Amino acid sequence: MATTEVILTEKIEKLGAEADVVKVRAGFARNFLIPTGKALEVTPSTLRRLNLLKTKRAEREARELNEAEELSRRINKLKLNLELETGETGRAFGSITTSDIAERIKAELGGKIEIDRHRIQLERPIKESGSHEITIKLHHDVSAVLHITVKAKGAVEAESQSDSQEGEERPAGGYKAKAKARHQE
Protein backbone atom coordinates (compact mmCIF):
# COMPACT_ATOMS: atom_id res chain seq x y z
CA MET A 1 0.00 0.00 0.00
CA ALA A 2 1.39 3.33 -1.03
CA THR A 3 1.39 6.06 1.59
CA THR A 4 2.09 9.75 1.34
CA GLU A 5 2.60 12.61 3.77
CA VAL A 6 0.17 15.53 3.82
CA ILE A 7 -0.27 18.66 5.92
CA LEU A 8 -3.77 18.96 7.37
CA THR A 9 -5.43 22.36 6.96
CA GLU A 10 -8.26 21.65 9.40
CA LYS A 11 -9.06 19.33 12.27
CA ILE A 12 -10.13 15.86 11.13
CA GLU A 13 -11.42 13.34 13.67
CA LYS A 14 -9.16 10.35 14.26
CA LEU A 15 -6.49 11.78 11.93
CA GLY A 16 -5.18 15.01 13.42
CA ALA A 17 -5.54 18.78 13.73
CA GLU A 18 -4.46 21.55 11.41
CA ALA A 19 -0.71 21.91 10.86
CA ASP A 20 -0.14 18.22 11.59
CA VAL A 21 1.97 16.31 9.08
CA VAL A 22 0.41 12.85 8.81
CA LYS A 23 0.93 9.75 6.71
CA VAL A 24 -2.16 8.57 4.87
CA ARG A 25 -2.83 6.26 2.00
CA ALA A 26 -2.12 7.85 -1.37
CA GLY A 27 -5.65 7.29 -2.68
CA PHE A 28 -7.24 8.91 0.37
CA ALA A 29 -5.02 11.95 -0.06
CA ARG A 30 -5.41 12.14 -3.84
CA ASN A 31 -9.17 11.51 -3.98
CA PHE A 32 -10.49 13.14 -0.82
CA LEU A 33 -8.18 15.23 1.35
CA ILE A 34 -6.44 17.35 -1.29
CA PRO A 35 -9.45 18.02 -3.61
CA THR A 36 -11.66 19.09 -0.67
CA GLY A 37 -8.96 21.40 0.69
CA LYS A 38 -8.60 19.49 3.96
CA ALA A 39 -4.90 18.78 3.31
CA LEU A 40 -1.94 19.98 1.26
CA GLU A 41 0.85 17.96 -0.31
CA VAL A 42 4.19 18.25 1.48
CA THR A 43 6.33 20.51 -0.71
CA PRO A 44 8.84 23.26 0.14
CA SER A 45 6.20 25.97 -0.42
CA THR A 46 3.59 24.25 1.76
CA LEU A 47 6.14 23.75 4.51
CA ARG A 48 6.52 27.55 4.61
CA ARG A 49 2.71 27.83 5.04
CA LEU A 50 2.97 25.47 7.99
CA ASN A 51 3.76 28.34 10.39
CA LEU A 52 0.55 30.13 9.41
CA LEU A 53 -1.42 26.95 10.05
CA LYS A 54 0.25 26.51 13.45
CA THR A 55 -0.75 30.01 14.57
CA LYS A 56 -4.31 29.36 13.33
CA ARG A 57 -4.38 26.12 15.33
CA ALA A 58 -3.07 27.79 18.50
CA GLU A 59 -5.76 30.49 18.26
CA ARG A 60 -8.51 27.90 17.74
CA GLU A 61 -7.33 25.75 20.67
CA ALA A 62 -7.11 28.78 22.98
CA ARG A 63 -10.62 29.87 21.96
CA GLU A 64 -12.03 26.35 22.50
CA LEU A 65 -10.38 26.13 25.92
CA ASN A 66 -11.80 29.50 27.01
CA GLU A 67 -15.29 28.55 25.79
CA ALA A 68 -15.09 25.19 27.59
CA GLU A 69 -13.99 26.83 30.86
CA GLU A 70 -16.83 29.37 30.67
CA LEU A 71 -19.37 26.64 29.93
CA SER A 72 -17.94 24.56 32.79
CA ARG A 73 -18.52 27.42 35.23
CA ARG A 74 -22.12 27.77 34.05
CA ILE A 75 -22.81 24.03 34.27
CA ASN A 76 -21.24 23.72 37.74
CA LYS A 77 -23.72 26.33 39.02
CA LEU A 78 -26.66 24.57 37.37
CA LYS A 79 -28.97 22.29 39.37
CA LEU A 80 -31.57 20.38 37.34
CA ASN A 81 -34.81 18.85 38.63
CA LEU A 82 -36.09 16.02 36.47
CA GLU A 83 -39.15 13.81 36.84
CA LEU A 84 -39.21 10.09 36.20
CA GLU A 85 -42.43 8.22 35.36
CA THR A 86 -43.11 5.56 37.98
CA GLY A 87 -45.91 3.13 38.69
CA GLU A 88 -47.81 2.40 41.91
CA THR A 89 -44.98 0.26 43.27
CA GLY A 90 -42.38 2.96 42.59
CA ARG A 91 -40.85 1.06 39.67
CA ALA A 92 -39.64 3.31 36.85
CA PHE A 93 -41.32 3.04 33.44
CA GLY A 94 -38.60 4.85 31.57
CA SER A 95 -35.19 6.28 32.29
CA ILE A 96 -33.26 9.51 32.04
CA THR A 97 -30.64 9.23 29.31
CA THR A 98 -27.78 11.41 28.10
CA SER A 99 -30.05 12.80 25.36
CA ASP A 100 -32.60 13.94 27.96
CA ILE A 101 -29.87 15.61 30.00
CA ALA A 102 -28.37 17.34 26.93
CA GLU A 103 -31.78 18.70 25.90
CA ARG A 104 -32.48 19.96 29.41
CA ILE A 105 -29.09 21.69 29.66
CA LYS A 106 -29.72 23.36 26.31
CA ALA A 107 -33.11 24.60 27.52
CA GLU A 108 -31.69 25.87 30.83
CA LEU A 109 -28.73 27.69 29.27
CA GLY A 110 -30.78 29.58 26.72
CA GLY A 111 -30.79 27.23 23.73
CA LYS A 112 -27.63 28.67 22.17
CA ILE A 113 -25.27 26.14 23.70
CA GLU A 114 -25.28 22.64 22.24
CA ILE A 115 -23.70 19.84 24.28
CA ASP A 116 -22.98 16.60 22.51
CA ARG A 117 -24.64 13.73 24.39
CA HIS A 118 -21.49 11.63 23.99
CA ARG A 119 -19.60 14.05 26.23
CA ILE A 120 -21.96 13.30 29.14
CA GLN A 121 -20.39 10.50 31.14
CA LEU A 122 -23.24 8.36 32.40
CA GLU A 123 -22.55 4.68 33.09
CA ARG A 124 -26.17 3.68 32.52
CA PRO A 125 -29.47 5.54 32.23
CA ILE A 126 -30.89 6.86 35.52
CA LYS A 127 -33.83 4.74 36.70
CA GLU A 128 -34.08 5.71 40.36
CA SER A 129 -35.07 8.90 42.11
CA GLY A 130 -32.64 10.85 44.24
CA SER A 131 -29.65 13.12 43.80
CA HIS A 132 -27.04 12.40 41.13
CA GLU A 133 -23.75 14.02 40.09
CA ILE A 134 -22.86 13.64 36.43
CA THR A 135 -19.51 14.52 34.84
CA ILE A 136 -19.49 16.25 31.46
CA LYS A 137 -16.21 16.23 29.50
CA LEU A 138 -16.23 19.57 27.67
CA HIS A 139 -12.59 19.61 26.55
CA HIS A 140 -9.68 17.24 27.05
CA ASP A 141 -8.53 19.51 29.91
CA VAL A 142 -11.93 20.73 31.20
CA SER A 143 -14.74 18.80 32.89
CA ALA A 144 -17.92 20.00 34.59
CA VAL A 145 -20.05 18.38 37.29
CA LEU A 146 -23.82 18.64 36.88
CA HIS A 147 -26.12 18.13 39.89
CA ILE A 148 -29.43 16.45 39.06
CA THR A 149 -32.34 15.73 41.39
CA VAL A 150 -34.70 13.06 40.10
CA LYS A 151 -38.23 12.87 41.51
CA ALA A 152 -40.81 10.13 40.98
CA LYS A 153 -43.78 11.42 39.00
CA GLY A 154 -46.30 8.57 38.85
CA ALA A 155 -46.29 7.48 42.51
CA VAL A 156 -48.27 10.48 43.82
CA GLU A 157 -50.77 10.36 40.95
CA ALA A 158 -51.28 6.60 41.37
CA GLU A 159 -52.03 6.99 45.11
CA SER A 160 -54.65 9.67 44.47
CA GLN A 161 -56.30 7.53 41.79
CA SER A 162 -56.42 4.43 44.01
CA ASP A 163 -58.03 6.48 46.83
CA SER A 164 -60.77 7.74 44.50
CA GLN A 165 -61.51 4.23 43.20
CA GLU A 166 -61.99 2.66 46.64
CA GLY A 167 -65.66 3.66 46.72
CA GLU A 168 -66.39 1.98 43.38
CA GLU A 169 -67.18 -1.73 43.28
CA ARG A 170 -64.92 -3.90 41.24
CA PRO A 171 -65.92 -7.30 39.95
CA ALA A 172 -64.45 -10.09 42.06
CA GLY A 173 -61.79 -12.18 40.36
CA GLY A 174 -61.08 -9.85 37.46
CA TYR A 175 -61.21 -10.76 33.76
CA LYS A 176 -59.93 -14.31 34.10
CA ALA A 177 -62.67 -15.23 36.59
CA LYS A 178 -65.36 -13.76 34.28
CA ALA A 179 -64.00 -15.68 31.30
CA LYS A 180 -63.88 -18.92 33.29
CA ALA A 181 -67.47 -18.38 34.49
CA ARG A 182 -68.66 -17.78 30.92
CA HIS A 183 -66.86 -20.89 29.71
CA GLN A 184 -68.53 -23.03 32.37
CA GLU A 185 -72.04 -21.81 31.42
Residue 73 lies in a domain: no
Same domain membership, residue 85 and residue 160 = yes
- Which domain-ending residue is among 16, 36, 68? 68
Helices and strands (DSSP H and E) totals, the chain: 5, 7
On whether both 86 and 62 belong to a single domain, the answer is no
Q: What is the pLDDT of residues 42-94, one digit of tens each?
A: 988 888 888 888 888 899 899 999 999 999 998 899 898 988 887 777 677 88
Q: Are residues 82 and 62 in the same domain?
A: no
Low-confidence ranges of the chain (pLDDT < 50): 156-171
Cα–Cα distance measured from residue 81 to residue 92, given in angstroms and rounded to the nearest whole number: 16
Asked if the structure places residue 20 within a domain, the reply is yes
Q: Number of structural domains, the chain?
A: 2
Spatial distance between the Cα atoms of 148 and 132, rounded to a whole number of angstroms:
5
Q: By three-state DSSP, how is residue 69 classified?
A: helix
CATH code, 9 = 3.40.5.10
| pLDDT of amino acid 157 | 47
Q: What is the pLDDT of residue 184?
A: 63
Is-contact 8 17, C-beta < 8 A? yes
CATH number at residue 149: 3.10.430.100
Per-residue pLDDT at 180: 59
Q: In whole angstroms, give the CA distance from residue 118 to residue 141.
A: 16
Host domain of residue 83? 78-167
Is there a single domain that holds both residue 121 and residue 102?
yes
